[in-house]
């Protein structure tokens, strides 16, 4: 999969692309990230990329020409999705990450300052996306978050083919508790069942741990999770214990 990223700060991406899963995916040819400096597409001699807003008010607005020139010359008629990062966008989710990963090519325009000229949206943007309800100084960090979350859905990017479907949210639930060695630390013990070698019992325990955590922290996720009869019963028990003040 190929990403075309349009930004005023391409260097911000370097360390993220040079480590861990994204690094390995690029080395294996599964992922290509092309960074395009919007400034290189400015037409005036000062290479201006932003100006004060018409109508006054504070802040600066990213200009339309450099961005449209950059996107059109890089995509050259290709019909890839073009994402604009903006706090006014649709909220980014695991489902969206999986959907975007089905495209061979994806463009992300990193918004900056107080805004982006509205005509950028009208001319080249296909999706406006926000990563959450808070304001970042620029879209670069949001673009990196999306890049990472999307890359995890590209086939063969994750070492263990099982990992992505087990992630929090892919199943509609938060992940439960995890343990590794040692079996006891400062009196805190790993649950016996995880040491038992009984794979079915381990799977049951994990699912229950995920259900319990989701119920405690993000109960609204349970409304859309697909649950078996016995899982619903388990949640009923949690709710009863809670109403008796036991948890």
Active site (annotated) includes residue 213: no
Given 167, 204, 208, 213, the catalytic residue: 167
Q: For 75, list phi and psi in degrees, rounded to 5.
A: -80, -30
Pairing of strands 50-51, 2-7: unpaired
Output the smallest distance, CB 106 to ligand 6GU, in A.
15
Given 10, 128, 152, 231, the catalytic residue: 152
Output the smallest distance, CB 12 to ligand 6GU, in A.
13
CB 63 within 8 A of CB 39: no
Q: Whole-angstrom distance between the N-terminal and C-terminal Cα of the chain?
A: 46
Given 87, 148, 175, 208, the catalytic residue: 87
Active site (annotated) includes residue 114: yes
Active site (annotated) includes residue 152: yes
Burial class from Cβ neighbours inside 10 Å (0-12, 13-18, 19+) for residue 43 reads exposed
Residue ranges in contact with ligand 6GU by CB under 6 A: 85-87, 89, 111, 129-132, 134-136, 138-139, 142
**Ordered alpha helix ranges (H), the chain:** 14-17, 20-27, 64-75, 94-100, 118-123, 140-151, 163-166, 199-217, 229-243
Output the smallest distance, CB 127 to ligand 6GU, in A.
11
Output 112 or 207, the one with its CB closest to ligand 6GU: 112
Output 132 or 236, the one with its CB closest to ligand 6GU: 132
Active site (annotated) includes residue 167: yes
Output 61 or 194, the one with its CB closest to ligand 6GU: 61
Output the smallest distance, CB 3 to ligand 6GU, in A.
15
Sheet containing 2-7, strands listed edge to edge, beginning at the edge strand earlier in sequence: 32-37, 2-7, 105-110, 82-91, 127-130
The residues carrying an active-site annotation are: 87, 114, 152, 167
């Amino acid at each position: 999969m190929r990403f075309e990223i349009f930004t005023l700060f391409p260097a911000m991406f370097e360390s993220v692309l040079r480590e861990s899963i994204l690094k390995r995916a690029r080395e294996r040819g599964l992922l290509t990230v092309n960074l395009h400096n919007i400034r290189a597409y400015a037409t005036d001699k000062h290479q201006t990329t932003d100006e004060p807003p018409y109508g006054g008010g504070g802040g600066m607005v990213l200009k339309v020409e450099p961005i449209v020139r950059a996107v059109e010359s890089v995509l050259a008629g290709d019909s890839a999705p073009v994402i604009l990062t903006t706090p006014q966008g649709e909220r980014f989710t695991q489902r969206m990450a999986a959907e975007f990963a089905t495209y061979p090519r994806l463009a992300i325009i990193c918004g900056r300052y107080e805004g982006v000229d509205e005509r950028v949206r009208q001319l080249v943007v296909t999706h406006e996306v926000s990563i959450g309800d808070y304001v970042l100084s620029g879209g670069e960090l949001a673009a990196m978050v999306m890049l990472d979350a999307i890359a995890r859905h590209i086939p063969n990017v994750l070492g263990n083919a099982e990992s992505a479907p087990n992630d929090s949210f892919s199943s509609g639930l938060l992940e439960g508790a995890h343990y590794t060695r040692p079996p006891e630390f400062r009196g805190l013990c790993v649950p016996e069942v995880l040491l038992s070698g009984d794979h079915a019992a381990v799977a049951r325990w994990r699912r229950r741990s995920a259900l319990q955590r989701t119920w405690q922290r993000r109960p609204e996720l349970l409304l859309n999770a697909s649950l078996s009869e016995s899982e619903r019963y388990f949640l009923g028990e949690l709710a009863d214990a809670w109403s008796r003040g036991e948890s």
